[in-house]
Chains A and B, each alone.
Chain A
Amino acid sequence: MAKNSKVKKSDSIDWDYSVALESTDHISISQEYKLFIGGKFVKPLSKKYFNSINPSNEKILSKIASAGKADINKAVLAAKSAYDTIWSKMDNAERGKYLYRIARLIQEKSRELAVIESLDGGKPIRESRDIDIPLAAAHFFYYAGWADKLDYAFPGSKVSSIGVAGQIIPWNFPLLMAAWKIAPALATGNTVVLKPAESTPLTALKLAEIIQESDLPPGVVNIITGDGATGELLVNNPNVDKIAFTGSTEVGKMIIKSIANSKKKYSLELGGKAANIICEDASIDQAVEGIINSIFFNQGHVCCAGSRLYVQESVSSQIISKLKNRMDHLILGDPLDKNTDIGAINSNEQLKKINMYLDIGKKEGGDFYQSKHTIPKKGYWCAPTLFTDTSQSHRIVQEEIFGPVLAIQTFRTIDEVIDKANNTPYGLSGGIWTDKGSKIFQVSKKMRAGVIWANTFNKFDPASPFGGYKESGIHREGGLEGLAPYVNFDNRTL
């Protein structure tokens, strides 16, 4: 097993942790998953399948159906029929009760879901167990309560459901993103065709089983698996009324273009390149811990990751030396080990992309530092990395890497750092660390980003709206704001 054996030991303390593997004997993964359409698992008309693998050891976990055009059509028609005949007519409170049921079932099966999430996506069990799965259940619980209270959500205005929502989610928080998409759509009376990411379909398919178990009327939620081509077919299906997408800005732009000649509504949660600003009056140790969490949480596969670090000049050497020390103490290895801080990179493709950026960063002249770990022989891994002496024009400062790679710059004045922070096409999130309250309010107001973490980072909650300014997306998910992308305002549709 992987151990952080290269870490220097002090005289008396043994810093190595014993391996503490989460057990897998209680989980069930089928050898093959079909498409979930109209409340049943059905064979794909495309007759095509692909494999979902465990990125920490490259072993095949299951064979997954790949939906083609006819399959998508079938799923969308199932959703449309469920919308027309049942779901849009159902009593609002009853609709909410189904969401409560789903929330409870996720809670009941939370350990199984957590283990599968870590197997399929490579994230540490500590994160899937303590963050992804509880938040997914909480999300259903939160929106369940909205179903019969929508009149209070939009004061002075009447709203209605839209119809069939086509939803496409990414691989970084597979079940959580499914919850973010499905819960508000159902609470507002829409039906859903959801496409999970190609590399992480398993927990969404387990969710399909939960949905079956909840007796949700057939067709209200359909889950179809496949790659980007499947997603594209879903976006362009004429019976889809609304698109909700989380993923790259590049694909988000393609989606807007491809539905420009339709009346489809869309909400997008796209890329980011968040600035995390450390002022000299910040609590230094807390800030260092916050930096670790901002960029190495989920191997940096986080759209709101604090991938650009701005440290005030007077404290930069202190911060960077503490940061390197903390990085060296992170535990990289088996995602199922409860000690693990850094799991596997989600896919080979993503690892190649990260490595490409490491090369670019070195060529651009940044000062490269990578913590030393024993990298497992199998699987896809990237040790926590930082670049100091970077500049605004560097590609590793401008472009989203989606990996455990931090680009560090220093600053002298607050005005200077605000300009630098905002000098990006993105605007998803940002961080500010200082012990001075007035500075928090000023900096957080001036940062053009949708979520600001002050003296913290990467915190999420179903009641808290999430989403970006500028090229980081359109609309919010979570909170009361998360209802708006799933309703029509009656006075606008006349």
Chain B
Amino acid sequence: MTKKLHIKKTYKLYIDGKFCRTESGRYMQWISPKDNQTINFCRASRKDFRNAVQVSRSAFNKWNSFSGYNRGQILYRIAEMLDSRKEQFISELILQGKSKKSSKEEVEMSIDRLVYYAGWSDKYQQIFSRVNPVATPYFNFSYPEPTGVVSIISPKDSHLLGFISVIAPAIVGGNTVVVLAPEDNPLCAISFSEVLHSSDVPSGVINILSGLSNELIDHFSSHMDVNAIINCGVDSKDAELIVKNSSLNVKRAFDYSSINWTNPDSQDPYLIMDCQEIKTTWHPIGY
């Protein structure tokens, strides 16, 4: 039997539930430290990012209106799909230079993390909602609502687990996200869009771009229709730029760069609450 030629995969951006090339036509080349094979990723542009924010905004209104129960099922479905593609992600992590053992561990922890946040979908509201005992005859209650569209700069050194650990709390809380894949190792993040695509996640809820952070950070942090930005690891100059830009529309800006995603302490409902707003409603009590 003749040896069949390996079919190389084309890696694209994931915007509005579609796999698309960058409008700029540009690429960035990645070379595996394991076997020197090359992969061409899209080098996303400002325009790609703006398109992603636009679809994120329309997806937000829909996703936000899903029940917590429904969002939880969808997150759980993502975990199921990731589990069924375990081998793919283990081999991708190996391609990025990780050992087989730690690759397997990372994929398993990533699946667990999705299941963890799936479970929060209809519970964090109960933990963080309250009836406030005001001193006047009013019924007064507070509950969390999603902040809106969140842009995310992925962790540099936790290519699957870190990536998932940041996205999951944002979306389980009803936000929609535009994520920049880790610049040096975008493979798992881009492949993750295939998992999402088969997971009933409504289009536009999670949008994933590959690209150069020095080209995109400015736009990720300055866009006026983005409500929050999560920075998981850039140098201090860029971190300062992100906060400065966040002032333009009072974006909520978070720096997760000190979080070690393999630590069990790195998952908690307070990460969900970062991208939540507390709404308080008053109503008179009487006849």
Contact = CB atoms under 8 A, between A and B. Distances in A.
Contacts of B284: 455-456
A452 interface: yes
A148 interface: no
A464 B247 contact: no
Most buried by B among A260, A452, A472, A494: A260
B279 A450 contact: yes
A157 to B, nearest CB: 6
Nearest to B256: A492
A156 B132 contact: no
Contact of B142 (A157, A268, A425, A481): A481
Contact of A451 (B243, B259, B280): B280
Contacts of A156: 268-269
Given A440-B283, A450-B278, A464-B282, A479 B142 contact: yes
Nearest to B135: A461
B140 A461 contact: yes
Contact of B280 (A252, A465, A493, A494): A465
A170 B13 CA distance: 47
Contacts of B34: none
Contacts of A252: 247, 250
A467 B131 CA distance: 17
Given A252-B250, A256-B243, A494-B258, A452 B268 contact: no
A265 to B, nearest CB: 11
Nearest to A156: B268
Interface in B141-161: 142, 145, 147
Contact of B277 (A459, A463, A469, A491): A469
A451 B147 CA distance: 15
A489 B270 contact: yes
B31 interface: no
Given A261-B240, A470-B249, A463 B134 contact: yes
Contact of A257 (B130, B244, B265, B266): B244
Contacts of A465: 132, 142, 278, 280
A493 B256 CA distance: 10
A278 to B, nearest CB: 16
A259 B140 CA distance: 35
B278 A476 contact: yes
A454 B283 contact: yes
Contact of B283 (A455, A479, A481): A455
A235 interface: no
A473 B278 CA distance: 12
Contacts of B227: 470
B281 interface: yes
Contacts of B252: 474
A408 B240 CA distance: 42
B133 interface: yes
B130 A479 contact: yes
B136 interface: yes
Nearest to B242: A260
B277 to A, nearest CB: 5
Interface residues of A, number: 50
A249 interface: yes
B282 A450 contact: no
Contacts of A481: 142, 278
Interface in A263-317: 268, 270
A242 B249 CA distance: 21
B282 A454 contact: yes
Contact of B282 (A445, A456, A480): A456
B246 A256 contact: yes
A36 interface: no
A440 to B, nearest CB: 7
A425 B282 CA distance: 23
A479 B132 contact: yes
B28 interface: no
Nearest to A263: B255
Interface string B91-105: 000000000000000
Nearest to B277: A469
Contacts of A253: 247-248, 250
Contacts of B147: 469
B279 A449 contact: yes
A249 B249 CA distance: 9
Contacts of A444: 279, 281
Interface in B40-88: none
A129 to B, nearest CB: 16
Contacts of B258: 492-494
Contact of B250 (A466, A474, A494): A474
Contact of A464 (B134, B244, B266, B277): B134
A453 B282 contact: yes
A471 interface: yes
B224 to A, nearest CB: 8
Given A154-B270, A444-B281, A463-B132, 20 more contacts: A253-B247, A260-B240, A260-B247, A445-B279, A449-B279, A451-B279, A452-B279, A452-B280, A454-B281, A454-B282, A459-B134, A459-B138, A464-B280, A465-B280, A466-B280, A467-B278, A471-B249, A474-B250, A476-B278, A491-B265
Ranked 8 nearest A-B pairs via Cβ: A256-B247, A260-B243, A461-B134, A253-B247, A260-B244, A463-B132, A452-B281, A491-B265
14 contacts: A249-B250, A256-B243, A257-B243, A270-B250, A440-B283, A451-B279, A456-B282, A456-B284, A461-B132, A465-B132, A469-B147, A471-B250, A472-B250, A481-B278
Interface of B: 127, 130, 132-136, 138, 140, 142, 145, 147, 227, 236, 240-241, 243-244, 246-250, 252, 258-260, 265-266, 268-270, 277-284
Interface of A: 138, 154-157, 249, 252-254, 256-257, 259-261, 268, 270, 425, 440, 444-445, 449-456, 459, 461, 463-467, 469-474, 476, 479-481, 489, 491-494
